[in-house]
Amino acid sequence: MRIRTLAAAAVLAGAALVGGAGQAGAHGDTIVFKVTALGDGHTRAAALWANDNDPVTEKVAATLSAVADDGRSVGPWKLEPVADAPGTFTTALALPPGHWAVTVESGFPALGRGQADLTVTAVPGTSPSQGTVVEPVAPSAAPSTPPPSVNDPVAAPAASSSDSGPSWIIAVTATVVAIAAVMVATALLRRRRAAG
């Protein structure tokens, strides 16, 4: 009876380890950004945990990129926390006047994304941001080399190595825990038979 209890405890402990490995905490593992604009062209992004809409109060590593209707693009710009608004972030630079498709993405403490279409009007007495503004480039008449295909022998290894981060860690952990549980159960059964 004791062997079964120990074997069951080992299996449950392994399942608990594997089950909890994919979670980034009590809030979940995805961030949603609600993107808005202020009158001066600065953007604000409220970072919320996707599963419970609580504000993300941890340090966040996120950037903002935007593309205007006329083809101009800005960013990526680093997001900085807003002092009096927990979970709210802004950029040091303002968007120039125009209609912008804005994308905010984060990589820490969890992956996250938010998008919004914003219209920025010229504010009297201010000048547009001197940030990274890229004008659209006309296609050249010179022939370009085609991008490598997936079947290209040089590109194939890169295409096949696109594993999804921690998923392989979870798989290895689950395998090790399962092997350990089987070894413990086998050792206990042998001990019981030898003693009995």
DSSP state at residue 23? -
pLDDT per residue, tens digit, the chain (196 aa), is 566 665 565 555 565 555 544 444 567 789 999 999 887 888 999 999 998 999 999 999 999 999 999 999 999 999 999 999 999 999 999 999 999 999 999 999 999 999 999 999 876 455 544 444 433 434 444 444 444 444 444 443 444 343 444 555 676 677 777 788 888 888 888 888 888 7
Q: Alpha-carbon distance 183 to 14, whole Å?
A: 13
Cis ω for the linkage preceding 109 (within 30 of 0) = yes
This prediction has a pTM of 0.53
**Residue ranges of the domains in the chain?**
2-22+166-195, 26-121
In contact, 12 and 182? CB cutoff 8 Å: no
Determine contact, residues 107/56, Cβ cutoff 8 Å: no
**CA-closest candidate to residue 110, choices 42, 2, 186, 26:** 26
Contacts of 101-104 with C-beta under 8 Å, sequence gap 24+, read 101/66, 101/67, 101/68, 102/35, 102/37, 102/43, 102/64, 102/65, 102/66, 103/64, 103/65, 103/66, 104/33, 104/35, 104/43, 104/45, 104/62, 104/63, 104/64, 104/79
| Predicted local distance difference test score (pLDDT) of residue 160 | 38
Fold observed for domain 26-121: Immunoglobulin-like (2.60.40)
